A and B are shown apart, each in its own frame.
Chain A
Amino acid sequence: MKPLRLRRLSAQAALIPTWVIVIFAYLGTILWTIRISFTSSGILPKYDFVGFEQYERLFRSARWIISVQNLAIFGVMFIVGCLVLGFLMAVFLDQRIKGEGIFRTIFLYPYAMSFIVTGLVWAWILNPTLGIQHAMHNWGWTSFSFDWLARGDRAIYMVGFAGIWQSAGLVMAILLAGLRGIDEDIWKAARVDGIPTWRVYISIVIPMMSGMFVTAIVLLAIAVVKVYDIVVAMTGGGPGISTEVPAKFVIDYLFNRQNIALATAAASVMFVAVLVVLGPWLYRQYFRKERRAA
């Protein structure tokens, strides 16, 4: 008994620094952020109390509403697009084609670039006076028009497109690993039964790879919530405020507009939203499994 307890004690002691960091650096700052969001702080923190004033202003702000809508559009488009494209690419590579290594590298290459570089490159390609449209005009097709990035009602889709271009390769890599893990015998059995290939993928392979899909979705979802750099690089939030996102709202009010109360209110809303969406799932994934294992 005693040695075990001692061992546990030393294990706990070794964890103390981690606990200190978690409590002060993570929980502490989260609580502090929420506290500040109920004050009238400007450039410096002030510890008064103004109730939900900042939150009211936040939800009256056209820019915040647009930011949230954009996050939804970008999020759905990005996650669905990456999954579909990534899965198709993975299936394509799984056909034991020639030069698989080359294709795999090409498909995964965009992911080696940061969002900043991705954004900048696509900003140039999609710029009507520099990129595709300009090239088409030079080649004589003068009626060609592709100016979505310069149009407020379409620009966010272009940001989503660039995001998919960058991240679909990651999904491909994850799903390809999953496909390679599918037992050959399943394929043989399906062939014996005369089931068409597409049906095998949809009814058998995809359900078997649900773990891989969850991993991919979680990684993509995290990228969606913190999306900032690709917008800054590609559009700067423009035209106008049409491609603003919540993270950019927080940064702008924190540093440029000297209103940390409003910035922390926005950050708190983001935090709560993530918690509401991810909380039940995290609980299911980790805590219940642990209990079952114990």
Chain B
Amino acid sequence: MNTVTKNRALAVVASAAFGLAGMQAQAADKAEVIHWWTSGGEHAAVMEFEKAFDAQGGDWVDAAVAGGGGDAARTDGINRIIGGNPPTAMQFNTGKQFDELVSNGLLRNLDPLAKEYGWKDKINPVLLNAVSVDGHMYAVPVDIHSNTWLWYSPEVLKKAGLEPPKTWDDLLTDLAALKKDGVIPLAQAGDAWTQVLTFYNVLITQGGKDLYMKIIKDHDVDAVKSPEFLKVAETFGKLRDYVDPGMQGRQWNQAIALVIDNKAGFNFMGDWAKGEIDVNKKVPGKDVGCIPGLGHQTYWVGGDVFVFPKVKSKAEQASQALLAKVLLEPKVQLAFNEKKGAVPVLKDVSSEGMDQCAQKGLALLKSGDYVPSSDILITPDMSGSIQDLVSAYFTDKSQTPQQFVDQFAAIIGG
């Protein structure tokens, strides 16, 4: 968190400086790309884009802005777009983050390109929907991440004589047994966003797809007040008993590391946790078990996209078109996503060579068991309010499920 803040401050300074420098240096066929993929694995992944783009005659100018969640990068890019000095392309999370840029006419309409390359038939419909506004395509999705995974240490479970859970009740029994044995039952991070992901995991896989869609997409207050949602709140509340006091101040990668090192039983985290598992030379699905949702197994479709701000220079428009095409080439998609720990956005890619967890995810995608991520369905503003509520509930055992439900209804009801 602290580095994020520091980086943000740096990014603001940097964007001011680059804003001036960039104006003169905007050479004809360069493609300046803003993104926030700066960790080891992420860098290796984005290099695949750069290599492929340069091989086809482009000139990728990397404008990475550090900071895990991308706040700094987005602030930088948005300010440049508004200030009239847009980058050639810019990363966003799949979802509503760039909606306002679309409604203010600042982004390039990609329909002609989509028609030329047949994207509308090839891209996963959830993602296509997420990057379209009024039926027009405004962004190129590049990867699919699911945020709702439960990771477990097979060794810890074996030692305690437990089976991997199949339902939420199984999980609670296992957690109680681990707690008795003196192992950390559930290793979680202290950051609010990780607690929100855990909440969505319970909502989607215990409450079910329909309940999630009714609440998050349709903002149905009656669904929030239903007994099913109260049950979700109760289950989520019970998890509070099984986290350890070291949760506060722990980062997500330290939390998954406890499971990797067999010091903790379980951890809820998105599939980017595989990056950490790989770094530790372990195999996802074998050394660290993965469950894409207890009860209703569901894939939570989120990920990253690139938008292309409106630019005047014809040469820059041409390099935008080239870049968009390269990003969605099947070969490039496979190479990128393998290193990113994600799944390609194209419908017909072979799952050969992917790890067990990715296979499970892909199977759910093919069978239609997926929902759009909350970033796709609600504004960052409402997301923020939900985050405040969920993290307050998760860290304060004196709050009852009913109180949580009432406050949740107030947010959803607007």
Which residues in A have some Cβ–Cβ distance to B below 8 Å? 42-44, 61-63, 116, 119-120, 123-124, 127-130, 147, 149-150, 152-153, 155, 229, 232-233, 235-242, 252-253, 255-259, 262
B112 adjacent to chain A (CB < 8 Å): no
- Decide if A42 touches B396 in the complex (CB within 8 Å): no
Residue on A nearest B382 in the bound complex, by CB? A257
Q: With A and B bound together, what is the CA distance between A61 and B411 in angstroms? A: 10
Q: With A and B bound together, what is the CA distance between A70 and B16 in angstroms? A: 34
The stretch among B243-251, B301-309, B341-349 that forms the contact with chain A is: B243-251
Q: With A and B bound together, what is the CA distance between A235 and B249 in angstroms? A: 7
Which residues in B have some Cβ–Cβ distance to A below 8 Å? 1-2, 5-6, 8, 69, 71, 75, 78, 82, 97, 100-101, 104, 190-192, 244-249, 379-381, 383-385, 388-389, 391-396, 407
- Decide if B1 touches A233 in the complex (CB within 8 Å): yes
Complex interface: chain A residues within 8 A of B82 (CB): 44
- Decide if A236 touches B190 in the complex (CB within 8 Å): yes
Q: Least Cβ distance of B306 to chain A in Å?
A: 18
Q: With A and B bound together, what is the CA distance between A239 and B245 in angstroms? A: 11
- Decide if B2 touches A119 in the complex (CB within 8 Å): yes
- Decide if A255 touches B71 in the complex (CB within 8 Å): yes
Q: With A and B bound together, what is the CA distance between A128 and B206 in angstroms? A: 32
Q: Which 8 A-B pairs have the closest CB atoms?
A: A129-B246, A239-B395, A240-B395, A240-B392, A257-B384, A128-B245, A150-B248, A236-B1
Q: With A and B bound together, what is the CA distance between A239 and B391 in angstroms? A: 7
Which of A63, A242, A252, A259 interacts with B395 by CB under 8 Å?
A: A242
Q: List 22 A-B contacts (CB under 8 A).
A: A43-B78, A44-B100, A44-B104, A61-B388, A116-B6, A127-B248, A127-B249, A149-B248, A150-B245, A150-B248, A150-B249, A152-B396, A232-B2, A235-B249, A236-B190, A239-B190, A240-B192, A240-B394, A240-B396, A253-B381, A253-B384, A259-B381
Complex interface: chain B residues within 8 A of A239 (CB): 190, 248, 391, 395-396
Complex interface: chain A residues within 8 A of B71 (CB): 255-256
- Decide if B249 touches A256 in the complex (CB within 8 Å): no
A interface majority secondary structure: loop
Q: With A and B bound together, what is the CA distance between A63 and B391 in angstroms? A: 11
Given A119-B2, A257-B383, A258-B379, A127 contacting B246 (CB threshold 8 A): yes
Which of A150, A241, A256 interacts with B391 by CB under 8 Å?
A: A241
Complex interface: chain A residues within 8 A of B104 (CB): 44
Q: With A and B bound together, what is the CA distance between A240 and B396 in angstroms? A: 8
Which of B246, B380, B395 interacts with A258 by CB under 8 Å?
A: B380
- Decide if B392 touches A62 in the complex (CB within 8 Å): yes
- Decide if A238 touches B246 in the complex (CB within 8 Å): no
- Decide if B384 touches A252 in the complex (CB within 8 Å): yes
Residue on B nearest A252 in the bound complex, by CB? B384
Complex interface: chain A residues within 8 A of B75 (CB): 255
Q: With A and B bound together, what is the CA distance between A149 and B389 in angstroms? A: 20
- Decide if B1 touches A240 in the complex (CB within 8 Å): no
Q: Least Cβ distance of B98 to chain A in Å?
A: 9
Complex interface: chain B residues within 8 A of A252 (CB): 384
- Decide if B8 touches A255 in the complex (CB within 8 Å): yes
Q: With A and B bound together, what is the CA distance between A241 and B392 in angstroms? A: 5
- Decide if A232 touches B5 in the complex (CB within 8 Å): yes
Complex interface: chain B residues within 8 A of A237 (CB): 192
Which of B2, B381, B385 interacts with A42 by CB under 8 Å?
A: B381
Contacts A62-B388, A238-B190, A241-B392 aside, 15 further interface pairs with beta carbons under 8 A come to: A42-B381, A43-B78, A116-B2, A124-B249, A130-B246, A152-B395, A153-B396, A233-B2, A238-B192, A239-B391, A239-B396, A240-B393, A252-B384, A258-B381, A259-B384
Complex interface: chain B residues within 8 A of A242 (CB): 392, 395-396
- Decide if A240 touches B6 in the complex (CB within 8 Å): no
- Decide if B388 touches A241 in the complex (CB within 8 Å): yes
- Decide if B249 touches A257 in the complex (CB within 8 Å): no
Residue on A nearest B245 in the bound complex, by CB? A128
Complex interface: chain A residues within 8 A of B2 (CB): 116, 119-120, 229, 232-233
Q: With A and B bound together, what is the CA distance between A262 and B385 in angstroms? A: 12
